[in-house]
Homo-oligomer: A and B are copies of this chain.
Amino acid sequence: MRSIVFQSIFVLVMPININDIYDGDIKAVARAISVVENGGTGANELIEKIYPNTGNAHRIGITGPSGAGKSTLVDKLTHLYRKSGKMVGIVAIDPTSPFTGGALLGDRLRLQELSLNKEVFFRSMANRGSRGGISRKTGEVVDILDSSGKDVVMIETVGVGQSELDIAGAADTTIVVLVPESGDEIQVMKAGLMEIADIFVLNKSDREGADLMLAHLSESLKLRSDVNWLPKIVKTSAIRNEGIEELMEAIEEHSKWLSSEDKIGSKRNLRLINRVKEIIVEELNSEFWTDERMSLLENMISDNGNNLITPYKIVEDLKKV
């Protein structure tokens, strides 16, 4: 699908050669990701070009409470995938800002070292700011990694509430990582987890309470209504490198199931539909919010001392413009 014609997107003064992205050139991929993160027309053009070259990577979402050992798990999985010759992309969605520092940043730095070759590309993205935007951008970053020849792309994020659903939407296979101690959090997350997990990992499974947790988890799975795929449970100790091969096998098994049932096609179609809907919302919004309407809104709001103008009245007036 590679074009022989030289295709390039001009970003500032530096053109990105599309074929360099397809070749997995780390500088080209890094720049392409920056373009997507910055958004705007450049990002759209880039995604349009690389899109036909996507669809080859298996997308693995990894979520769970903080401290469950997701980063270490991703690290060990990466090493194992490398052993079998696979190219790996990693996107870590980070609910932190640069000044957070600490253990989390330490993990990241370890992974950044991994990223300095063509076979493993690591990128961390901040999970703050515009609602919804992150989900689409994450998808586009994964598209770039996919088009760059990666066989596996892992998307890692702390999971509570919406972020779980986001990652399940972005991934072909969703892994939920738990630890024996995370009883409280499971209580809170359980409903969501049951819906999205294709594989449960019980990490730090050498710790006290692991068997009890395992029993609870197996019991809960019986509540799951979607009986086509019964989520696997894999015990690991990522830090000791135990259970990682079993996890890789479970991923492989789920991937085969997806293909055999042609679930992978409908997952991809759903992603495409969601992306189209997000683009539509953005475009409708930017068309609607002309300068005239923005200042009309400001004027109406500043006159609104006694709550006498209601939201729908304002909407009505804005639409008359």
Contact = CB atoms under 8 A, between A and B. Distances in A.
Contacts of A306: 52, 55
A258 B305 CA distance: 16
Contacts of A188: 66, 95-96, 100, 104, 158
A310 to B, nearest CB: 4
Interface string A176-202: 000000001101111110000000000
A275 interface: yes
Contacts of A313: 48
A283 interface: yes
A268 B309 CA distance: 13
A272 B301 contact: yes
Contacts of A285: 280-281, 284
Contacts of A127: 161
A279 B312 CA distance: 8
Interface centre among A67, A184, A310, A311 (most CB of B within 10 A): A311
B44 A312 contact: yes
B44 A187 contact: no
Interface in A227-279: 268-269, 272-273, 275-276, 279
A96 B191 contact: yes
A285 B97 CA distance: 33
A95 B192 contact: yes
Interface string A127-161: 11001100000000000000000000000001011
Given A53-B307, A104-B187, A162-B163, 12 more contacts: A47-B312, A52-B306, A55-B306, A66-B185, A103-B184, A127-B161, A128-B192, A160-B161, A160-B163, A269-B304, A281-B284, A283-B319
Q: Give 10 nearest A-B pairs by CB, closest first.
A: A97-B191, A160-B160, A51-B310, A284-B284, A67-B184, A66-B188, A275-B311, A102-B187, A95-B161, A48-B310
